[in-house]
Amino acid sequence: MPQPTDLLQLAKTAAVAAAQYIRSVSQPPEPASWDLKGVSDFVTQVDRDSEQMIKDILLGEFPNSVVVGEELSPRSSGNGDNLTWIVDPLDGTTNFLHGYPAYAVSIAAQKNGVLVAGVVVNVHRHLVYTASVGGGAWCADVPLRVSRTSEPASALIGTGFPFKTLDVLPQYLQQFSTVLKTTSGIRRAGSAALDLVDVALGRFDGFWELSLAPWDVAAGTLLVREAGGVVTDTEGHTTVVRHGPLVAGNPVIHSWLLRLLSTQPPSTPSAAP
């Protein structure tokens, strides 16, 4: 069986190639060419071509593996013994379409249900973030570490709006109000993969979102954990590579944020489309 470092290198090759392709697009496509997958959820041929490129590279090396991708194969899943790649070919499509410089390529490798390698490429800034199980999280030769902030009043928290699942918006707004009143601020950039990178880098002390998909969080989750952080769902369960909510942060702020969110009225988020 391939080692995590081998899988990481292949994921990095695929992610960098896709990022180069996305940068080669001279300008964002015109709105007339956007397809609507759901409420305010757009996709273009750029997303599809990026995912196809990634699939060709990954399956070219491991033809018996499975690719779970946002655009071409969102319902695919590997059995417990298979090598599964979890791919977001362009995380932050709306940002990309508007020229807002916060979008990424995200690829994770999962063996026997365990995340073993992950890559997130900040496309606009040409930055590559990598992690392998037991091998730490890195940007080039610089190790990533979560912040040491322990006081919520000093914490900066990342978030994402539930724009695809508006039924949980009332619960989210209550949470937003509570977090805002007890921290130094909240930021929302529109790419969960990059939000998790910011947690791993120590820029964000914590992060939460109520409705995410596996490809949004897989690589970023491993980055945060290998950088010394904690990632769970809103009930504290560590299995997060699925549709649903996510809470991440350094150990102290994650624990505090988890307790804070649990004081809000319960709600069951709808699965992301």
pLDDT for 78-116, tens place per residue?
Answer: 444 589 999 999 999 989 988 999 999 999 999 999 999
Q: pLDDT digits over 169-207, tens only?
A: 999 999 999 999 999 999 999 999 999 999 999 999 999
Does residue 273 contact residue 37 with C-beta atoms inside 8 Å? yes
The predicted model scores a pTM of 0.90
User: Closest by alpha carbon to 24, among 96, 75, 94, 76?
Assistant: 96
Question: For residue 16, which amino acid is it?
Answer: V
Q: pLDDT digits over 210-225, tens only?
A: 999 999 999 999 999 9
Output the pLDDT for position 80: 41
The single residue listed with the structure tokens 């150990």 is 251
Output the pLDDT for position 264: 61
With DSSP H G I counted as helix, E B as strand and the rest as coil, what are the percentages for the chain, rounded to 5?
35, 25, 35
Give the integer Cα–Cα distance in Å for 81 and 9. 21
Q: Is the pLDDT of residue 77 over 70?
A: no
CB-count exposure of residue 59 (10 Å: 0-12, 13-18, 19+): middle
What are the structural domains, with CATH classification, of the chain?
Answer: 4-143 (3.30.540.10), 152-262 (3.40.190.80)
Q: Which helix or strand (DSSP H or E) is residue 175 part of?
A: helix 169-182
What is the rounded average pLDDT of the residues 232-253? 96
Question: For residue 203, which amino acid is it?
Answer: R
What is the rounded average pLDDT of the residues 60-88? 78
Q: pLDDT digits over 127-146, tens only?
A: 999 999 999 999 999 999 99
**Mean model confidence pLDDT for the chain:** 89
Strand partners, 232: 247
Q: pLDDT digits over 28-62, tens only?
A: 666 655 555 544 445 688 888 999 999 999 999 99
